[in-house]
Chains A and B, each alone.
Chain A
Amino acid sequence: MMNIELQDVRFSYGPVRALDGVTLEIGEGACGLLGPNGAGKSTLLKILLGFLVPSAGEGLVLGHDIRKDSFGIRRVVGYMPEDDCFIPGLDAVSFTAYFGELSGMPRAEAMKRAHDVLYYVGLGEARYRLLETYSAGMKQRLKLAQALVHDPKILFLDEPTSNLDPQGRTEILELIADISSKKDLHVLISSHILTDIEQTCTSLVILNKGKVAAQGELAALREVQFSLYEMKVKGETKSFLDALRAAGCRVEETVDQLLKIYLPASMDRREVFHRAEKAGLQIRHFVKSRTSLEDLFARTVGVD
């Protein structure tokens, strides 16, 4: 079942085109929304929530139309914004219960649930402290608590680990991993931190310059987009490497003379051997390597 389906969605901030014909499908589980700064990730989340109306295109979030039924979407979505958000003068329980009530929960239920989610995110002991006294990590957990209080079916997390120290980051990622392990609670994480996505997500959408650069299951993407091979050769490599580049491969040379060859999906690995033979090289080492998300991202977005 698809949770989110978008068809040719476009949005511009004046002359700046933020989303340019985004078409994507996001299924169950945890999905990463990856892209460099300015790729359109936050804009996409705001469109999915109905904060912004696309200039063109259609879309559904859990069956609710992004143009016509933003209220339906907001009832089933929990949103954790990127920036620090709080209401001065409130403690965590009042704050979380307040937003539960605004979502449509009865007051007493919202208060009870606020206690539960605050314990869940690790703020149980600090729940009566004023929010102004919270650290960056605590505020991040609080944002997660308010996103969870009304028991959404899908969570939108915008840069959930920004401004966190390594310990805080690990804890938030563990929470997200626990949340996304529930079969009926799905997570869409927007981030430019690749390792966060790698740790928590099973599927991925890469945005670049307002367009979908890649999407699908993380494991499949690693395979489909390109294959990475590591090799060592004996002989003059220049003509060999030039030939590979001309064939559409990306080649990296490490300090210990290891060559990392990224083959396009259309290219067979035997081509590498043929070109080595033509260049008069001996191949001493040739092994398929597991591509990291960093490799995938760099390759897709076109950065080193």
Chain B
Amino acid sequence: MAIAERGYTHWPGTLDPARRPWRTIARQGIRLAWRRKFFKFVLSFSLLPALVFTAGVYISERLGDFKNMLKGADRFLQINPDYFKAYYASSGVPFMMLVIMVLAGAGLIADDLRHNALPLYFSRPLRKRDYAGGKFATLAFFLLALTLVPGLLFILLKIIFSGSLKLLTDFPWLPFSVVGWSVVVSSFFSLYTLFLSSLSRSRRYASILMLAVYFLSDVFFAIFMGIFHEPAFLLLSIQMNLRQLAAAFMGAKPQFDVPWFYSVLVLAAGAGLAIFVLHKKIRGAEVIR
């Protein structure tokens, strides 16, 4: 007998109260993003800097072979914390992260708001933190693929190509810095994306907001810096704060002489605001008071 003719049937299993729903949400989010061909293309493209820096790690061990090609550029191929700082802060990686955030993250909450999916989520045994955690993990997965994976790969390849642990003996804190920086920047950007995605019911407006806030913060910094010649205005810029922090994590000299913990405070305030807004915006029922 066809199922449709059998009438309603019960499910004989039992629900598992101890499961982690954020993992289900994250898996679905990653799967949905990955289904789009354009996203796959952009993600592959955004790994290009990592590929170039990987080649740099290889060449750094074969400087003699590439002497003619390098023509004095071998000073950039010293594999030390500055090399990592160059990858993280000034190689276009932050911009590629922004593009990934727009493509994979702008609709994470905006789409659910637009299509009224939140009541469906919260009619399940699901906390706000499960929902937000799942969305956060979706984005963090892709951002860590751009930060943590290449960083650890550089260290591993350097050890393999050089055949020694000199990098680790010289800079034993480097792997921790790579992990720490990757987690911090991915977490900040994930919160930033979810925050702006929750402000609109349109994925398109959320994307515009994400780009606008990021670039306008740079523009304001450039304007004020130009007028007042005061480097402390870097605190207005998301990108400059992240660069300061990257330098601090990698033990390198920051671009501007402004204490790095100011940047920590600014970014932490931004993250706090994002968590507050997410707490207010994510709920099963719209309550207008």
Chain B contacts for A166, CB-based, 8 A: none
Judging by beta carbons under 8 Å apart, are A84 and B8 in contact? no
Judging by beta carbons under 8 Å apart, are A124 and B4 in contact? yes
Shortest C-beta distance, A51 to chain B (Å), equals: 4
Chain A residues numbered 88-103 whose CB sits less than 8 Å from any CB in chain B: 88-90, 94, 98-99, 101-103
Shortest C-beta distance, A58 to chain B (Å), equals: 20
Decide if B119 is an interface residue (CB 8 Å cutoff).
yes
Decide if A87 is an interface residue (CB 8 Å cutoff).
yes
Contact with B along A208-234 (1 / 0, CB 8 A): 000000000000000000000000000
Given A52-B285, A83-B116, A86-B115, A119:B11 Cβ within 8 A: no
Chain A contacts for B111, CB-based, 8 A: 87-88
Decide if A81 is an interface residue (CB 8 Å cutoff).
yes
Closest to B21 in A: A102
Judging by beta carbons under 8 Å apart, are B19 and A104 in contact? yes
A90 to B117, CA, bound (A): 12
Decide if B32 is an interface residue (CB 8 Å cutoff).
yes
A83 to B118, CA, bound (A): 11
Given A13-B288, A99-B124, A101-B24, A79:B11 Cβ within 8 A: no
A101 to B126, CA, bound (A): 11
Given A74-B124, A106-B16, A124:B3 Cβ within 8 A: yes
Judging by beta carbons under 8 Å apart, are B3 and A79 in contact? no
Contact with A along B114-153 (1 / 0, CB 8 A): 0111011111111000000000000000000000000000
Shortest C-beta distance, A138 to chain B (Å), equals: 15
A49 to B123, CA, bound (A): 7
Number of chain B interface residues as a range: 35 or more
A75 to B13, CA, bound (A): 13
Judging by beta carbons under 8 Å apart, are A51 and B125 in contact? no
Given A103-B124, A119-B3, A150-B11, A85:B285 Cβ within 8 A: no
Judging by beta carbons under 8 Å apart, are B16 and A104 in contact? yes
Chain A contacts for B15, CB-based, 8 A: 75, 103-105, 150
Contact pick for A120, options B3, B13, B24, CB 8 Å: B3
Decide if A34 is an interface residue (CB 8 Å cutoff).
no
Judging by beta carbons under 8 Å apart, are B115 and A182 in contact? no
Judging by beta carbons under 8 Å apart, are A74 and B3 in contact? no
Closest to A184 in B: B10
Judging by beta carbons under 8 Å apart, are B11 and A86 in contact? no
Contact pick for B8, options A88, A150, A182, CB 8 Å: A182
Contact with B along A29-58 (1 / 0, CB 8 A): 000000000000000001001111000000
Decide if B25 is an interface residue (CB 8 Å cutoff).
yes
Chain B contacts for A253, CB-based, 8 A: none
A51 to B16, CA, bound (A): 22
A87 to B19, CA, bound (A): 22
Given A51-B283, A151-B11, A102:B124 Cβ within 8 A: yes
A131 to B289, CA, bound (A): 33
Judging by beta carbons under 8 Å apart, are A87 and B112 in contact? yes
Closest to A131 in B: B115
Judging by beta carbons under 8 Å apart, are B125 and A74 in contact? yes
Chain A contacts for B78, CB-based, 8 A: none
Judging by beta carbons under 8 Å apart, are B10 and A151 in contact? yes
Decide if B28 is an interface residue (CB 8 Å cutoff).
yes
Chain A contacts for B120, CB-based, 8 A: 79, 81, 85, 99, 146
Shortest C-beta distance, B283 to chain A (Å), equals: 7
Chain B residues numbered 1-46 whose CB sits less than 8 Å from any CB in chain A: 2-4, 6-11, 13, 15-17, 19, 21, 24-25, 28, 32, 35
A103 to B287, CA, bound (A): 24
Judging by beta carbons under 8 Å apart, are A178 and B7 in contact? yes
Decide if B284 is an interface residue (CB 8 Å cutoff).
yes
Judging by beta carbons under 8 Å apart, are B11 and A109 in contact? yes
| 10 closest residue pairs by CB, A with B | A104-B15, A79-B123, A151-B11, A51-B284, A51-B285, A119-B3, A71-B125, A14-B289, A83-B116, A102-B124
Instruction: Pick 24 A–B contacts, CB within 8 A, sort by A.
Output: A13-B287, A14-B288, A14-B289, A46-B284, A46-B285, A51-B283, A51-B285, A71-B125, A75-B15, A75-B17, A79-B120, A81-B119, A86-B117, A87-B112, A102-B121, A102-B124, A104-B16, A105-B15, A115-B3, A119-B2, A119-B4, A120-B3, A120-B9, A185-B8
